[in-house]
């Protein structure tokens, strides 16, 4: 069995300063419980691999950072061979953001992606969206929506669904837990893969929030009442395997 998890808004509560985000102690204990049952656990996130490695030092937890551009499996970290050549474009885009929107929080991720946050400055949302769209076109970067944010990424990631497809190869049972628009395609892919007979069973769970799109709930098989409920959900899976 593979249990794949988003990070922000799923195992970690959403916070104003993304550098302070951390998985809840309850979710960490539940992940440990799952690993003890020999289930595979993976975290698939827009976070860079450097952040995820620090957040999950246990090498048994498999990681897909920057929506699959970066990975850690079997204790070995690597990234897409084309990723490095996009650093110049990402750096240039980030530099323009600092000039055009100096009061908006900018998060640069391993020099391979950048996120423009308006959670602390919601009055800048329209300007942030417009600026990000211009920069994505100018530098040929991929534009991805996040919670109260937009991200600029190298156009080499096929997204979370592709990362999950790779991680789930050879598995019979797959569980995915997410909370945002980027997770909708993952849940839809999982349902299609199950219908096609690729997996014996799948389960897609949506973590509830006031910011979640309706499409997320429509695509999910189950709902979880916020990040605080994720630990209980994972423990139920662990208990069913004992």
- pLDDT tens-digit map of 161-210: 999 999 999 999 999 999 998 899 999 999 999 999 999 999 999 999 99
Write the Ramachandran bin of 56: left for phi over 0, alpha for psi from -120 to 50, otherwise beta: beta
Q: Are 153 and 83 in contact (CB under 8 A)?
A: no
In this predicted structure, which of 76-85, 91-100, 152-161 has the lowest mean pLDDT? Answer: 152-161
* Domain residue spans of the chain: 2-80+158-240, 83-153
Q: Is residue 127 over pLDDT 70?
A: yes
User: How many angstroms separate the CA atoms of 232 and 125, rounded?
Assistant: 35
Q: Which CATH class is domain 2-80+158-240?
A: alpha beta
Q: Which superfamily is assigned to 83-153 in CATH? A: Trehalose-6-phosphate phosphatase related protein; domain 2 (3.30.70.1020)
| C-alpha distance across the termini of the chain, in Å | 13
Asked if the domains at 2-80+158-240 and 83-153 fall in one CATH topology, the answer is: no
Give the integer Cα–Cα distance in Å for 56 and 65: 12
Q: What is the pTM of this model?
A: 0.93
Average pLDDT over the chain, rounded to whole?
Answer: 94
């Amino acid at each position: 069995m593979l249990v794949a998890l988003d990070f922000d808004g799923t195992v970690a509560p959403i916070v104003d300063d993304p550098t302070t985000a951390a998985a809840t102690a309850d979710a960490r204990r539940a992940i440990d419980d799952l690993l003890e049952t020999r289930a595979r656990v993976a975290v698939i996130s827009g976070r860079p691999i450097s952040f995820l490695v620090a957040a999950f030092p246990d090498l048994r937890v498999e990681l897909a950072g920057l929506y699959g551009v970066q990975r850690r499996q079997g204790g070995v970290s690597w990234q897409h061979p084309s990723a490095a050549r996009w650093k110049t474009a990402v750096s240039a885009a980030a530099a323009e953001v600092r000039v055009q929107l100096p009061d908006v929080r900018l998060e640069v991720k391993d020099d391979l992606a950048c996120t423009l946050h308006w959670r602390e400055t919601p009055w800048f949302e329209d300007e942030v969206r417009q600026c990000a769209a211009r920069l994505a076109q100018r530098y040929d970067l991929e534009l991805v929506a996040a919670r109260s944010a937009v991200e600029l990424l190298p156009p080499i990631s096929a997204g979370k669904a592709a990362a999950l497809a790779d991680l789930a190869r050879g598995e019979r049972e797959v569980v995915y837990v997410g909370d945002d628009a980027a997770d909708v395609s993952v849940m839809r892919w999982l349902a299609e893969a199950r219908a096609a007979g690729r997996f014996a069973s799948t389960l897609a769970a949506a973590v509830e929030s006031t910011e979640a799109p309706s499409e997320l709930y429509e695509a999910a098989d189950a709902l979880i009442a916020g990040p605080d409920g994720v630990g209980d959900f994972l423990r139920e899976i662990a208990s069913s395997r004992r």
